[in-house]
């Protein structure tokens, strides 16, 4: 079994879910007492959030590149970044290491394509919804992406940072997300990507009428597949 290096802590709530799912997947695949081989570097999210707020992606990319090298030096055989938003600086990470990096949008796109969905709604932080890095990665896989209108983007973003990253899950917020998804469906979305690792704490497939693509779970599946590959 290969060792998965995880850049986490952004937020630790979703990193906890990533780690739990990885161990469950390995146990289901191998049985017995097996668990995932993981090296986790849990960053202080306050530092990352401050860089996001001042639009200092160069500093964020440098920090994550440094931590990625540390994971490689610690013995990781492959690398994941357990957050969607920070894939904005994925190129800095891949340039810094010599081990495979599994991009979360590739895992999401593969699942969207396998489901026969051509147009997908994207929920995430404002950075993920408004900057082109995620939609462009999906477009390279032949997937058209639509994002919520401005007011809905603000709602989605505020719930992530005001509630979900702190482990707060409210039924009222779930209803707000369902309304946002319904408006995306009305605009042509055939499915919805939960493009923030925390959103899976709030929304699931049974909440909406189209296929849901949970990026945390899909990313874990890709990582475990790679770790267990011959």
| pLDDT tens column, 150-161 | 999 999 999 999
CATH of the domain at 15: 3.40.50.1860
> Are residues 113 and 211 both part of a single domain?
yes
Residue 106 has pLDDT above 90, yes or no: yes
> Are residues 31 and 72 both part of a single domain?
yes
pLDDT of residue 150: 98
> Are residues 121 and 202 both part of a single domain?
yes
> Are residues 197 and 108 both part of a single domain?
yes
> Are residues 136 and 54 both part of a single domain?
no
**Domain of residue 148, residue span:** 104-215
pLDDT of residue 60: 97
DSSP helix/strand/coil, 3:
coil
> Are residues 147 and 158 both part of a single domain?
yes
- Residue 163: which residues within 8 A CB-CB, separation 6 or more? 169, 170, 173
What average pLDDT does the segment 111-116 reach?
Answer: 97
- Residue 218: which residues within 8 A CB-CB, separation 6 or more? 104, 107, 108, 110, 111
Q: Is the whole-model pTM more than 0.85?
A: yes
Task: Verify cis geometry, omega within 30 degrees of 0, for the bond prior to 176.
Answer: no
Average predicted confidence (pLDDT) for the chain: 97
Size (the chain), residues? 230
DSSP helix/strand/coil, 206:
helix
> Are residues 197 and 94 both part of a single domain?
no
pLDDT of residue 57: 97
> Are residues 133 and 162 both part of a single domain?
yes
* Band of residue 230 on the pLDDT scale cut at 50, 70, 90: confident
> Are residues 151 and 195 both part of a single domain?
yes
Check residue 75 and give left, alpha or beta (phi > 0: left; psi -120 to 50: alpha). Answer: left
Judge contact between 164 and 202, C-beta under 8 A.
Answer: yes
> Are residues 99 and 111 both part of a single domain?
no
Residue with tokens 């969905």: 117
CA 109/CA 117 separation, integer angstroms:
10
> Are residues 61 and 109 both part of a single domain?
no
Catalytic residue set: 83, 196
pLDDT of residue 207: 96
pLDDT of residue 215: 96
Judge contact between 205 and 212, C-beta under 8 A.
Answer: yes
- Residue 90: which residues within 8 A CB-CB, separation 6 or more? 81, 101, 103, 133
Residue 8 has pLDDT above 80, yes or no: yes
* Number of domains within the chain: 2
> Are residues 114 and 211 both part of a single domain?
yes
Write out pLDDT tens, residues 87-102: 999 999 999 999 999 9
């Amino acid at each position: 079994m290969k060792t998965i290096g995880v850049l986490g802590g952004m937020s630790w709530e979703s990193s906890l879910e990533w780690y739990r799912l990885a161990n469950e997947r390995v146990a289901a695949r191998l049985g017995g007492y097996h668990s995932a081989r993981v090296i986790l570097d849990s960053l202080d999210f306050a530092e990352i959030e401050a860089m996001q707020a001042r639009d200092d992606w160069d500093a964020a990319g440098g920090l994550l590149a440094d931590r990625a090298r540390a994971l490689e030096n610690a013995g990781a055989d492959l690398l994941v970044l357990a957050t969607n938003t920070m894939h904005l600086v994925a190129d800095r990470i891949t340039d810094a290491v010599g081990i495979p990096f599994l991009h979360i949008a590739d895992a999401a796109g593969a699942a969207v394509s396998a489901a026969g969905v051509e147009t997908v709604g994207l929920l995430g932080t404002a950075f993920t919804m408004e900057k082109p890095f995620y939609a462009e990665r999906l477009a390279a896989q032949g997937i058209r992406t639509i994002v919520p209108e401005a007011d809905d983007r603000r709602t989605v973003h505020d719930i992530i940072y005001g509630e979900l990253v702190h482990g707060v899950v409210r039924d009222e917020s779930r209803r707000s997300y369902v309304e946002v998804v319904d408006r995306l469906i009305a605009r042509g979305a055939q499915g919805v990507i939960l493009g923030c690792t925390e959103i899976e704490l709030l929304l699931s497939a049974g909440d909406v009428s189209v296929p849901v693509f949970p990026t945390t779970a899909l990313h874990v599946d890709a990582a475990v597949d790679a770790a267990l590959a011959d």
